[in-house]
Structure 1
Amino acid sequence: MGNVIDDLRTRFVTFDEDPFNEVDSLVLSQLSYARMPGNVPRWDGGDADDAGGDDADSAAIPMVPVRDLLRAERYDAMFGRVWSPQLNVDLLRAMCENPRWRALRVGAYVDEFDAASTKQFSACVFDVGDGALYVAFRGTDSSIVGWKEDFTMAFRRPVASQSAAVRYLADVACRWDGPLMVGGHSKGGNLAVYAAASMPDDVASRVTAVYSHDGPGFDEAFLESPEYRRISAKVHKSVPESSVIGMLFEQREQAAAGYEVVTSDGLGIMQHFALNWQVRDGRFVHADGLTGGARYAARTLNDWMARYDDERRRLFIEGLFAILEAGGYPTFGELTAHWAQSLPAMLVAARGIDAGDRGVMVEVLKGFAATAATSVIPGGDRRE
């Protein structure tokens, strides 16, 4: 038993021998965290209506072999701002060496960041080589803006990245007439579910699977909507035993009701990091259920939100991030690296918080601020 890299190094079955599954989705979701180099074709963001047609196929989506990413001089730019750069390089190498992934191609890369609209969005497309296209949405990066967007989901839908994900998937669907799979890790999983549910019937019918790996959930109104119900049987959600982010806004308490719990060798919040998830023979190693701490943290926040309307939630989230933004640094890595300088300003900002909200806010800060560290190298992340 080991992680997905260990599995790739020892198991050499092709997709013909063992069809695409949730572990394969986790592999692609993790690879989508890479800042793709310039040789990977960019998404042009054009009008999807102009790109489709009866002859729409992969030729309409320029791609390059993933093996073209194997350039040591590019590794720092690609992986220098994600947690454990060397493990991510190891993942890329193991994929390119394995017959299951040798034909993999990537393209339609997009990376958008806009502090004014609280938007952090990135996606790419993988041609798996089994006749299907996998649309991967990147999870939250280290920016405070990115995490603020995640929590904005508590009182607003769609947030900026959800709208971007819908446009992106619709454009890809017009340029490709075959089956589609959609997925992502962390916020990327939420975007995958939201985008798939928002597609018109003709596109939704071509979506064969939707994967959310420790992605935030949705409110009851979304889960009961006709759009979500139409795709719900295709949604595969997986979370580690000590999930925090994946249980945000999650309405379902039992794995049998909508998600599987995976064993992770990470400690505490580090279980969120996908390369700590345990795999055996190409499948997740399942745990008995969420830990008591994970259940408590989820109930603390979710029960609090259930008591208040969207306006009160908005005020709470804006108060929470006003504290973080008062630190004066745009990313969690920089914030923690300059803790001595940022903490006094944050404490001053915290004085204005309603006393009744402080207990919940402390639980949130303990959970998601620590989780943010799994996406970056502390102190080493700066937006270009």
Structure 2
Amino acid sequence: MADVFDYLAWRGELTLAQSPFNCVDALILSVLAYMSFGDAAPDGEAVELGTAAQALLARGEGEPGARSRTDRRLLEALAGSARFCGMRLLACEECVDPRREMQFGAFTALTGDGAVFVAYRGTDNTLVGWKEDLNMSFAPVVAGQRRAVQYLERAAGMAPGPLRLGGHSKGGNLAVYAGAFCAPETQARIEAVFNNDGPGFAPEVLEAGGYRNILPRVQTFVPQTSIVGMLMGHGDDYTVVRSDQMGIMQHDPYTWQVLGPDFVRLEQVTAGSRLVDRALKDWLAGLTREERERFVDAVFGVLEATGAVTVRQLVDPHNARVLVRAMTGVDEKTRAMLLRVLSALASSAGRAVRQAAAPGHRLRPETGDGAALPGGAAGQQEPAEPG
């Protein structure tokens, strides 16, 4: 099976004039949003992607830039690709704000075919980024989503032409949200939104006029055992992509399979994906938004007690000991709440398994929220900031 590297080897010499922009191109730019360009693409300047990629490759192992050897391999391939190296990057932005519980990153690419691609970063390895993700389970809108709208308006003002938006994981969620809640004149310029295994939204978003308006232009892709991309509510249909990995590892876009200018498509997600989806939605449906908020705050209160800033630091042996002490130091009321919520999750998982095993039962994929989250319509307005 082929992946994005095979795609670049086989089709990287075809310009966008020879072969139009496609969903694989969008995935590649979405993955690129995870990388820290910093002064490789200074704000206010348009830098060729090939030049920026070489600058990142020249950085040392511990410096900001590529996250892994696979990222470096992608940068090398893009730097040598006629299709990508001449694209111009500008407005590279990244921000981690613990006070606002926001982790955000984005860049804008002038793709060379007259269009503008806005790429949003997914969750990085900071605890702030992970907490912002979980905040989506109870907050109609989070800080990163608001920032995504502001960034899109800025990008739209920098260059004329059709707009394409994209991202992977949380980045896909931000791309859809920005497309839904940007100004009407900006939304009118949006040609397509590429959501690569991004989680869904609260009912207030799904029922908003701007979301319904952008929906026909949203292309959502999930791997066959999707977990992240099935979370929360979705008003759109999705395309299932074959991955060469198992379980949650299929969330990694480098594992997605490619055929020519498209993904290898499957008819539906696996029964396991639908099982997890049902269990999580059933669990959330049994909790009020206040309970979800208290649960998330309590969990991250324990994690932050270690002093760790990133997930990697969290698994440090020293922090592991601090984590154990923090857990034992949790007050009785909080401990009881955590146990109650986790017990509810276990019960939901058990019910989903029993239902799936019932004779004649068939799990169906759900595109809506399944009443997992309470809340009313917000018309065409953006949901109000919680709290």
TM-score range, shorter chain: 0.7 to 0.9
Distance, in Å, in 2 between the alignment partners of 1:185 and 1:86 is 19
1:233 maps to which of 212, 216, 223: 216
Q: CA RMSD in A?
A: 2.2
1:172 maps to which of 132, 155, 159: 155
- Whether 2:325 is the aligned partner of 1:345: answer yes
Q: Which residue of 1 aligns with 2:270?
A: 291
Contact in 2 for aligned 1:3/1:275 (Cα 8 Å): yes
Q: Which residue of 1 aligns with 2:287?
A: 308
Radius of gyration: which is bigger?
Answer: 2
Q: How does 1:73-112 map onto structure 2 within 5 Å?
A: 73-74=58-59, 76=61, 77-80=63-66, 82=67, 85-112=68-95
Q: How does 1:238-317 map onto structure 2 within 5 Å?
A: 238-251=221-234, 258-317=237-296
Counterpart secondary structure, 2:79: helix
**Quick one: structure 1 residues 86 and 290, their matched pair in 2 at CA, closer, same or farther if it must change by over 3 Å?**
same
Contact in 1 for aligned 2:283/2:345 (Cα 8 Å): no
- Whether 2:340 is the aligned partner of 1:356: answer yes
Could you list the per-position Cα deviations for residues 3-51 of structure 1 after superposition, in whole angstroms to 9, with x for gaps in the alignment?
Answer: 1011101223221222111111100010111110413022xxxxxxxxx
- Whether 2:131 is the aligned partner of 1:148: answer yes
Distance, in Å, in 1 between the alignment partners of 2:79 and 2:301 is 44
Contact in 2 for aligned 1:197/1:228 (Cα 8 Å): yes
Using the TM superposition, give the Cα deviation of residue 137 of structure 1 relative to its aligned residue in structure 2, in angstroms: 0.7
Distance, in Å, in 2 between the alignment partners of 1:352 and 1:36 is 45
Using the TM superposition, give the Cα deviation of residue 66 of structure 1 relative to its aligned residue in structure 2, in angstroms: 1.0
Distance, in Å, in 2 between the alignment partners of 1:199 and 1:174 is 12
Distance, in Å, in 1 between the alignment partners of 2:336 and 2:286 is 21
Using the TM superposition, give the Cα deviation of residue 340 of structure 1 relative to its aligned residue in structure 2, in angstroms: 4.0
Counterpart secondary structure, 2:220: strand
Contact in 2 for aligned 1:327/1:345 (Cα 8 Å): no
**Quick one: structure 1 residues 360 and 90, their matched pair in 2 at CA, closer, same or farther if it must change by over 3 Å?**
farther
Could you list the per-position Cα deviations for residues 118-150 of structure 1 after superposition, in whole angstroms to 9, with x for gaps in the alignment?
Answer: 011111111111100101111111011101101
Normalising by structure 2, we get a TM-score of 0.82
**Quick one: structure 1 residues 278 and 354, their matched pair in 2 at CA, closer, same or farther if it must change by over 3 Å?**
same
Distance, in Å, in 2 between the alignment partners of 1:304 and 1:334 is 30
**Quick one: structure 1 residues 35 and 156, their matched pair in 2 at CA, closer, same or farther if it must change by over 3 Å?**
same
| Identical pairs, percent | 38
**Quick one: structure 1 residues 261 and 92, their matched pair in 2 at CA, closer, same or farther if it must change by over 3 Å?**
same
Contact in 2 for aligned 1:79/1:88 (Cα 8 Å): no
Using the TM superposition, give the Cα deviation of residue 362 of structure 1 relative to its aligned residue in structure 2, in angstroms: 7.1
Instruction: Give the length in aligned residue pairs.
Output: 339
Letter in 1 for 2:35: A
Counterpart secondary structure, 2:74: helix
Distance, in Å, in 2 between the alignment partners of 1:66 and 1:75 is 19
172-181 vs 330-339, greater mean Cα deviation:
330-339
- Whether 2:333 is the aligned partner of 1:332: answer no
Q: Which runs of 5+ in 1 are unaligned?
A: 43-60, 365-384
Letter in 1 for 2:285: A
Q: Which residue of 2 aligns with 1:56?
A: none
Distance, in Å, in 2 between the alignment partners of 1:363 and 1:323 is 24
Letter in 1 for 2:9: R
Q: Which residue of 2 aligns with 1:372?
A: none
Counterpart secondary structure, 1:74: coil
Q: Which residue of 1 aligns with 2:50?
A: 67
- Whether 2:143 is the aligned partner of 1:157: answer no
Counterpart secondary structure, 2:14: coil
Q: How does 1:11-90 map onto structure 2 within 5 Å?
A: 11=11, 12-42=13-43, 62-69=45-52, 70-71=54-55, 72-74=57-59, 76=61, 77-80=63-66, 82=67, 85-90=68-73
Contact in 2 for aligned 1:96/1:102 (Cα 8 Å): yes
The one of the two structures with greater contact order (alpha-carbon pairs below 8 A, sep at least 6) is 1
Could you list the per-position Cα deviations for residues 250-308 of structure 1 after superposition, in whole angstroms to 9, with x for gaps in the alignment?
Answer: 346xxxx5111111112322111111111111211123322233222222222222333
Distance, in Å, in 2 between the alignment partners of 1:174 and 1:97 is 30
Could you list the per-position Cα deviations for residues 79-107 of structure 1 after superposition, in whole angstroms to 9, with x for gaps in the alignment?
Answer: 45x2xx22111112212222221321111
**Quick one: structure 1 residues 41 and 79, their matched pair in 2 at CA, closer, same or farther if it must change by over 3 Å?**
closer
Counterpart secondary structure, 2:118: strand
1:138 maps to which of 109, 121, 140: 121
Q: Which residue of 1 aligns with 2:299?
A: 320
220-229 vs 201-210, greater mean Cα deviation:
220-229
Contact in 2 for aligned 1:300/1:360 (Cα 8 Å): no
**Quick one: structure 1 residues 276 and 307, their matched pair in 2 at CA, closer, same or farther if it must change by over 3 Å?**
same
Using the TM superposition, give the Cα deviation of residue 359 of structure 1 relative to its aligned residue in structure 2, in angstroms: 3.5
1:203 maps to which of 186, 203, 211: 186
